[in-house]
Amino acid sequence: MTSGLEALYRDVILDHNKRPRNFRVLEGGGKAEGSNPLCGDRLTVYLRVANGTIQEAAFQGYGCAIAIASASLMTESVKGKTLAEAEVLFEHFLRMISAPAGAPVDGLGDLSAFAGVRQFPVRVKCATLPWEALRAAAAGGVGAVSTE
């Protein structure tokens, strides 16, 4: 691999793209669709919340490797967190993928695999799409967001 592609397509991202976790419909909770019309990405994020804490998060849909892996890792990383904690995590994630190349990455666990997206500005919206949908699902229950 050459030309910074290894920074984008990290093994953990490739793995989650190939075998997305929590790729299913979750009945009875909140949900929101995220779409990126220009690329043709379309994901639905499902959320089950009790007492302000995310019991379960899942998703279904179609997208590029970055969007699918981001959704998959997101559903794993927000489980058990309060909605407020998930929002803080999203903000942290956003700061990381929009930081200058070489800026330190900390405290994000598996999500730090997306640090390489910084070098591919047009792909940032692929990584944030599921998070935008998660935020919409948490806020309104049923809705739709678009990165365009």
| Cα–Cα distance, 124 to 66 (Å, whole number) | 9
Number of residues that bind another protein (CB under 8 A): 26
Least Å distance between CB 148 and another protein?
11
Least Å distance between CB 68 and another protein?
8
Mutual orientation of helices 124-140 and 65-78 as an angle, nearest 10°?
40
Least Å distance between CB 37 and another protein?
7
Piece of 46-54, 58-66, 82-90, 102-110 that binds another protein (CB under 8 A): 58-66
60-99 residues near another protein, rule: CB under 8 A: 62-67
- Tell me how far CA of residue 44 lies from CA of 13, 73, 116, in angstroms: 19, 15, 25
Residue 120 buriedness (CB in 10 A; 0-12 / 13-18 / 19+): middle
Print the binding letters for residues 94-133 with another protein: x by CB under 8 A, - otherwise.
--------------------------x-xx--x-------
Piece of 56-64, 78-86, 92-100, 108-116 that binds another protein (CB under 8 A): 56-64
4-43 residues near another protein, rule: CB under 8 A: 4-5, 8-9, 14, 17-18, 37-42
Residue with Cβ nearer another protein (49 or 129): 129
Q: Do the beta carbons of residue 126 and residue 34 sit within 8 Å? A: no
Other CB atoms within 10 Å distance of the CB of residue 145: 21
3-state secondary structure 33-99: EEEECCCCEEEEEEEEEECCEEEEEEEEEECCHHHHHHHHHHHHHHCCCEHHHHHHHHHHHHHHHHC
Which residues form the interface with another protein (CB under 8 A)? Answer: 1-5, 8-9, 14, 17-18, 37-42, 62-67, 120, 122-123, 126
